[in-house]
Chain A
Amino acid sequence: MAEQTKVKFLVFRGTEEDNTLKEYTIDFVEGMVVLDAMLEIQAKYASDLGIRCNCKAAKCGSCTAEVNGMPRLMCKTRLSSLPVDKPIVIRPLKAFPLIKDLVSDISWNYEVNRKITPFTPKEDCDWRIYQDDVDRVQEFRKCIECFLCQSTCHVLRTHDKKDSYFGPRFLVRLAGLIMHPLDSIDRTEHVKEQAGIEYCNITGCCSEVCPEKIKITDNAIIPLKERTVSRYYDPLISIFRYFFRKKK
């Protein structure tokens, strides 16, 4: 690694209709991340590069792209973690429509978010909350909404089920609401019918790409699945429903 002085990048440039992978070479600086490289390319060779970035500290979740095919935050991807002896390929997120260059249109996520009823506290509560009761919720609230999980989830990425599945990010938000000790809403039906939790077949890809290391599948989705299963598919209740169902 120490002798590496130049790094080659193949960067996606253009729109859906007209695009190319353009080659750029930059000097390697110790500690450099992919976003540093893209900003240097923008400053020196590609003034009109389309790129989203903001905090440069892995806190805002804006600078998403696919680095050698993996959805990543560019500001959190050190060059030293990549095989820099070969060109590094940088593309926009695959699961969303392209705007230009590395910028994709992620507005669908904001539409989904609007479908979730916000936190609705129980009436007359005294707001005494114990740390043990919110540890789980705080894990989910770490989400920086980079939507890497959304871009990785094969239900959205490969099968494009955006009309019937909210995706991991919003199951995490729902889990945070459901497990909040003071939330008063029964959200189980919403999780099953609107959020489409049954589409998830727990491959765990979302957890792998999460920059906040939220255990999305284990801690959010599986507990929500358990709730839907015990509400809708409990065998005893099903038998009960079968025998006592209303005659048409």
Chain B
Amino acid sequence: MSKYKTHEYDVLIIGSGGAGLRAAIAAKEKGAKTAIVCKCLLGKAHTVMAEGGIAAAMGSLDPDNWQTHFQNTMFGGKYVNDWRMTEIHSKESPDRVRELEQWGAVFDRTKDGKMLQRSFGGHTYRRLVHVGDRTGHEMIRALQDKVVSMGIDIYMEFMISHLLLDDGRIAGAFGFFKDTGKFVVFNSKSVILATGGMGKIWRITTNSWDNTADGISLAYFAGAELKDMEFVQFHPTGMVWPLGVKGLLVTEAVRGDGGLLTNNKGERFMEKYDPKLMELSTRDLVARAINQEVREGRGTEHGGVYLNISHKPSAYVKKKLPSMYDQFLEFADLDITKQPMEVGPTCHYMMGGVSVDPQTQMSTTDGLFAIGEIAAGLHGANRLGGNSLSDLIVFGRRAGSAAADYAKGMKSLPIIDQKEIDEHKDWLFSFFETKSDCPPSLVHTKLQDIMERDVGLIRDDEGLKKVLSDLDSLSQQYKNTYLEGNLQYNFGWHIAISLKFMLITAKIVSRASLERKESRGALYRKDFPKAEEEWGGKSVVIKNKDGNMSVSTVPIQPMPSNLEDYIKKEKEEWLNKQK
């Protein structure tokens, strides 16, 4: 018997965002004994901050189809996407959206009573199903109600700090309740990581406090392969002022609904960068354009550019963008129906993550699955707006179902190694025994300084190498970080644990960026400013090998000709431009 309280499950899901909840529903429907553990309270995951909409080729307004969605996503991802995932995503999104409606989500409507869809960057047609600018919140509520009504076990405010293995395959997870500090072992046949992103490694970010790269680190130490970690999306439009909200998301829907970007000379500068798509170009391009305008002295007072929607009727703005209206009024004393906003790039999303099987979302570690932002593949080198919300429900469902099947195939529960748990628990306690004058928040600040300096929109060999050496010394300092108080709801302790996740992930991102010697999508290397055909055929893979970080490249499987036909013309045009 274990000395810790132990719960047994077929499927354990870590994370209660859209992907985690959708996976739980699918696993439970298959009869698996299912539980969700989440760091936050139920219904507060980062998905609630998603604003613009869910991309799905429903064709409510335009003659949309999955092929066009596929083509747009591949173009946005600059052709290094896992094409099979992109295909599945384009085909299955509409059904998953309809499901949400049947579970109670109430989306905005067209005149004839269908789900209304809006324009977004990189999408040919009006494709994003939405509710004003709070679509993620609506998705979470619908899924949350469904999960609760199905009687799925939920462990709230519970932090997983370690994944357990049994001879190389997953055996469960270990962690503690935040309110009491009580340790619990989950012995589970399969584990699904749905832990979201890593934005908190940067200072200027749209991400919530929980996005501390937990899943990347958990997967890495469980031996799973990570892929495409160099591709980090900087959203072009975050608030730049006041300081307290710097980085806060200004939804792309502002541009989708007619917002215009101008510099301090009043020029619509996107004409220079992408005269065809203008404001609705892909996010990587718009972010770099804004960055260039500001660097070349055409920025605003607070170091951004203007985003203006005040030419639209006030009632229209308030109906379509109610959160944005409130956000600027409350935080910046600015009425967006009358004045332009000031915006600039902000760390938003990781395209890379755990390398997964496109059908089942299983990682290279047996029994460990990954979904949503933490899974790599769908978005390639740059994600299109709206594709993340549909990603959650399409692959959440697939993984939940596959994990339940995987568990069914196992005769008995995997074996838990008590020694492994004891060692890990000693580490959790170690922070309270150290004596130094370095609190965890200071390490966090230094980490953010390093990342903002050299792992932002623009990177190069010199900067990345400096980052790697700085991270090494910061990791030494981290070992001596000290804590006050006890295990009960101790914010400092939670940061200290998260710092392990963030430090290793920062290193992974930097190492992967150094490896890819070209510029593609969200990765811009000053020393290799063009995309190289050779790099278009491979992905950077990172893995923990006996305590060392191994970095390699693997070839991308060739696409079948029927899919190739959909993207051929655009791809050639884009490649020619690179020469």
List residues of A whose CB falls within 8 A of some B CB: 29-33, 36, 42-44, 46-62, 76, 78, 99-101, 103, 105-107, 110, 113-114, 117-119, 121, 127-131, 134, 137-138, 141-142, 144-145, 177, 180
Contacts and interface: CB of A to CB of B under 8 A. Distances in A.
Contacts of A103: 179, 489
A100 B441 CA distance: 20
A54 B208 contact: yes
A48 B209 contact: no
A127 to B, nearest CB: 6
Given A47-B491, A50-B491, A76-B330, 8 more contacts: A29-B244, A42-B441, A42-B492, A48-B485, A55-B46, A59-B323, A60-B49, A127-B101
Contacts of A121: 102
B242 A32 contact: yes
Contact of A55 (B49, B141, B149, B485): B49
A131 B112 CA distance: 9
Given A48-B483, A59-B323, A76-B330, A54 B40 contact: yes
B106 interface: yes
Given A31-B243, A48-B485, A127-B101, A55 B109 contact: no
A-B pairs with the 8 shortest C-beta distances? Answer: A31-B242, A48-B485, A119-B104, A47-B492, A128-B113, A43-B441, A50-B489, A60-B44
B208 A48 contact: no
B491 A51 contact: yes
B42 interface: yes
B138 interface: yes
B490 interface: yes
B244 A62 contact: no
Given A29-B244, A42-B491, A59-B48, A118 B103 contact: yes
Contacts of A32: 242-244
B131 interface: yes
Given A48-B485, A57-B49, A130 B440 contact: no
Interface string B105-147: 0101101111000000000000000011010011001000110
B489 A101 contact: yes
Given A31-B332, A118-B146, A137 B106 contact: yes
Contact of B148 (A54, A62, A114, A138): A114
Contacts of A113: 148
Interface residues of B, number: 64
A206 B531 CA distance: 56
B47 to A, nearest CB: 10
A50 B441 contact: no
Given A47-B484, A130-B113, A62 B40 contact: yes
22 contacts: A30-B243, A31-B243, A44-B441, A48-B492, A50-B488, A50-B490, A56-B245, A59-B134, A60-B40, A62-B40, A78-B331, A99-B179, A99-B489, A100-B488, A100-B489, A118-B145, A128-B113, A128-B114, A130-B113, A131-B109, A134-B106, A177-B104
Interface string B450-487: 00000000000000000000000000000000011110
Contact of A130 (B41, B104, B109): B109
B331 A31 contact: yes
Given A48-B490, A48-B492, A43 B439 contact: yes
B493 interface: yes
Contacts of A43: 439, 441-442, 445
A47 B103 contact: no
Nearest to B242: A31
A78 B328 CA distance: 13
A114 B48 CA distance: 20
B181 to A, nearest CB: 10
B327 interface: yes
Nearest to A101: B489
B182 to A, nearest CB: 13
Contacts of A62: 40-41, 44
B248 interface: yes
B524 interface: no
Contact of A60 (B48, B242, B331): B48
Contacts of B102: 121, 127
B165 interface: no
Contacts of B113: 128-130
B188 to A, nearest CB: 23
B104 A138 contact: no
A78 B48 contact: no
B439 A47 contact: yes
B249 interface: yes
A118 B113 CA distance: 23
A190 to B, nearest CB: 15
B572 to A, nearest CB: 41
Contacts of B326: 58
Contacts of B442: 43
A33 B330 CA distance: 10
Nearest to B131: A138
Contacts of A114: 148
